[in-house]
Structure 1
Amino acid sequence: MIYEFTIATAHNTDTFLQELDNRLRWIKQRGYELETRLIQEPAVSCPTESKLLSFRLDGCDQRDSTFRNEDIVYIFKHQLSEVLAEHIVNDWESKLLWREIHRSYRKSSPNDKQVLHIKAGDFLRRCHQNESLNLLMNFGRKNRISHRILEHINENEFLAVEGFINFCMKDYLTEIKFAVEVAAEELKNEKEYNDFVNLLRYFVDTQAPRIKEVNLLLGSNGLFYLWDHTGCKIEEQYMQHYLDDLLLDDVSLDDLLVSILITIAPRRIIIHNAQELPHNESVEIIKQVFEDRIVFCRGCKRCARFLCEIEPGGKRK
């Protein structure tokens, strides 16, 4: 025997052992043997649900080996620390998120807790829109954990995963807590947004329409144009109320469009030139407030003529 180490963990030991076995094939191919024993009785310092895994690495005849036993032990420790880091992130992280949610948001409903768990997990895995950056950050997180584990392995012969996380990985637990806080803030904003949309929808549903049908066209210049079913422009009579705010830059054109449509409360909105429809919050509010009242024009004489009037060169873009 040239090295022995014991681990206590309560999660997914089969996957952990399979991954470790894959990582250690190189060592086994060089004549070294790894004996893995599952010790049923947990140590006094471990939770009762934990399983003890004992690893015993036996050497070979070094006279025919390029590597010294010390080199093999060094490689074994590195591989073990990397697999343990993946084990913590893949198998323990979900439990740690739940623990933080129950601790900090215990009064939240079961459904809200479930949403918090999903959002926090997504944030840890995909906190950036750039997928390459996400992969880099996840690799960096695992690498930090692996380095901390390796330091522990070099000084000890036993590691209890849960205790190691609680007492030696304070920075990792801070990341967990921050992810849950971000998720809670996002959930709060979503609820406030949904309440706002529901209020606007109620206002529109209970108000008599000032104009039953509104045609909406968005030009490539970012401006919008409104007319009724007869083809008469209608924005001027409603824009005057918001003109002062618009001149002072207190409202954007998108916000102005939402305000006008809410004020008119039409029974039907026909959207022309839909490909120019921007993907922003104001447009999403319009879609959610008016829902089945919205109809998308697939091309008509009226919008074609209107586009010829407003687009440069008289050609539709």
Structure 2
Amino acid sequence: MELFTISLPTSLQKSMNKLSNLLKEQVLDDLHIGSKEARQAIVEFLPISDQAICCQAIMPHFQLKEHGSAVYHAAATAIAEFVVSELEPSMLSTIIRRKYRNSHSADAAALERYCHDLLHGKEWDSLGTKFLDADRLRRKSKVTTEVEQFLQDNTELNVAGFTTFRLKPYRKELAEVVEYALDEYVLDKQYQEFISLLKYFVFLQDTKLPMVHLLHKGGHDFILYDESFQLLDPNPPTDRIVAEMLETEMNIEDMVISSLISVSPKHITIHTRQPDMQVIRTIETIFDQRVTVCVQCASCSSSLDELVQP
């Protein structure tokens, strides 16, 4: 007895084995019939072409009233996993190119990278991978629900057509991800242009001090010293143009950059236990070869250990 057939487009022909394995594994996990060592098979998935697979009920073990809902749910879960893992990147790419068709191709590629980081590769503050896993499960659940409803009323599922003309809530969410990625891309691009402008300004500036030491207490808390380790004014007079630039573009926690630009040192030594922190990388970018990062030296080892925040 044939329950349903799932077909893939020619472009995904090589992924047929993955879909087939997902379907078989999910049905085996969901239908706990018999012992784990000897479960009685009630359905099987048979390839009927290079692009289609058929779900066949094994009679008389399969009973529609008893097993039908579980089979449809298991199959829908497997198809949802396939959509999210295999088709999601191309769906995002299609949304980007339709919505921003006049953008430069490099911009479209950058947006795809931003989307990937948002959905897969970037941890969200302290929530980390738990948030990413929960977010992925939520997207997958939207696909599962709609596929399951479709399989209960239809015997043929064309995956390409289904993802193009159905899955409205899921596609809407992907479009929102693209919108957010665009906002992040524009903000980052503006910030990078701003950093480049500051770097150029520093290049043109005359140096005022031969050396400064920047002790990083933790977070965005810094103490500024001269070459003799004498405390410097944390808020020295700033060039009016730079002050206006920083006021409009830079976060208040990064105002240490304003202080460094104001004293215009020939060399900066940053003493820190967090050399990979973004604000430190920004200072390195702006002041370029003037910067040395120290994680522990004779001058700072004791004082920094006392000052550093847990």
- Same fold by TM-score, threshold 0.5 exceeded? yes
Q: Is the 8 A contact 2:43 2:55 kept in 1?
A: no
TM-score normalised over the length of structure 1: 0.76
What is the match of residue 287 of structure 1?
284
Aligned length: 285
Deviations 1:101-144 (A, max 9, x none): 11112233333222211221232346744222322232222122
CA distance 1:105–1:232, shift in 2 (3 Å): same
| Structure 1 residue corresponding to 2:23, chosen from 7, 10, 20 | 20
Q: Is the 8 A contact 1:211 1:266 kept in 2?
A: yes
Q: Does 1:76 align with 2:71?
A: yes
CA distance in 1, matches of 2:264, 2:63: 81
| Structure 1 residue corresponding to 2:94, chosen from 99, 103, 110 | 99
Q: Is the 8 A contact 2:214 2:222 kept in 1?
A: no
Structure 2 gap segments, 5+ residues each? none
CA distance in 2, matches of 1:186, 1:146: 30
CA distance 1:252–1:119, shift in 2 (3 Å): closer
State the superposition RMSD in angstroms. Answer: 3.5
| Structure 2 residue corresponding to 1:149, chosen from 142, 147, 150 | 147
CA distance 1:261–1:57, shift in 2 (3 Å): same
Letter in 2 for 1:189: L
Which has the higher mean CA deviation after the structures are superposed, 128-137 or 67-76? 67-76
Q: Does 1:193 align with 2:191?
A: yes
Question: Once the two structures are aligned, what percentage of the paired residues are identical?
Answer: 22
Displacement after TM superposition at 1:276 (Å): 7.6
CA distance in 2, matches of 1:277, 1:204: 22
Partner-residue secondary structure (3-state), 1:275: coil
CA distance in 1, matches of 2:180, 2:83: 21
| Structure 2 residue corresponding to 1:30, chosen from 31, 36, 40 | 40
Displacement after TM superposition at 1:210 (Å): 1.4
Which has the higher mean CA deviation after the structures are superposed, 136-145 or 68-77? 68-77
Q: Does 1:139 align with 2:137?
A: yes
Displacement after TM superposition at 1:38 (Å): 2.7
Deviations 1:193-236 (A, max 9, x none): 11111111111112221112222234579452321x35555437
Q: Is the 8 A contact 2:42 2:57 kept in 1?
A: yes
What is the match of residue 118 of structure 2?
123
Q: Is the 8 A contact 2:238 2:262 kept in 1?
A: no
Deviations 1:154-198 (A, max 9, x none): 111112222222333111111111111111111111111111111
Q: Is the 8 A contact 1:270 1:294 kept in 2?
A: yes
What is the match of residue 257 of structure 1?
256
Partner-residue secondary structure (3-state), 1:75: helix
What is the match of residue 166 of structure 1?
164
TM-score normalised over the length of structure 2: 0.77
CA distance 1:253–1:179, shift in 2 (3 Å): closer
Displacement after TM superposition at 1:54 (Å): 2.9
What is the match of residue 48 of structure 1?
none
CA distance 1:186–1:158, shift in 2 (3 Å): same
| Structure 1 residue corresponding to 2:200, chosen from 199, 202, 206 | 202
CA distance in 2, matches of 1:133, 1:184: 21
CA distance in 2, matches of 1:241, 1:37: 72
Letter in 1 for 2:118: F
Partner-residue secondary structure (3-state), 1:7: strand
CA distance 1:205–1:78, shift in 2 (3 Å): same
Q: Is the 8 A contact 2:124 2:131 kept in 1?
A: yes
Q: Is the 8 A contact 1:32 1:59 kept in 2?
A: yes
Q: Does 1:89 align with 2:84?
A: yes
CA distance 1:127–1:142, shift in 2 (3 Å): farther
Letter in 2 for 1:262: I
Displacement after TM superposition at 1:81 (Å): 1.0
Deviations 1:10-33 (A, max 9, x none): 232210011212234467942545
Rg bigger for which structure?
1
Partner-residue secondary structure (3-state), 1:34: strand
What is the match of residue 180 of structure 1?
178
CA distance in 2, matches of 1:263, 1:138: 47
Displacement after TM superposition at 1:256 (Å): 4.0
Partner-residue secondary structure (3-state), 1:5: strand
What is the match of residue 112 of structure 1?
107
CA distance in 2, matches of 1:252, 1:121: 26
CA distance 1:225–1:165, shift in 2 (3 Å): same
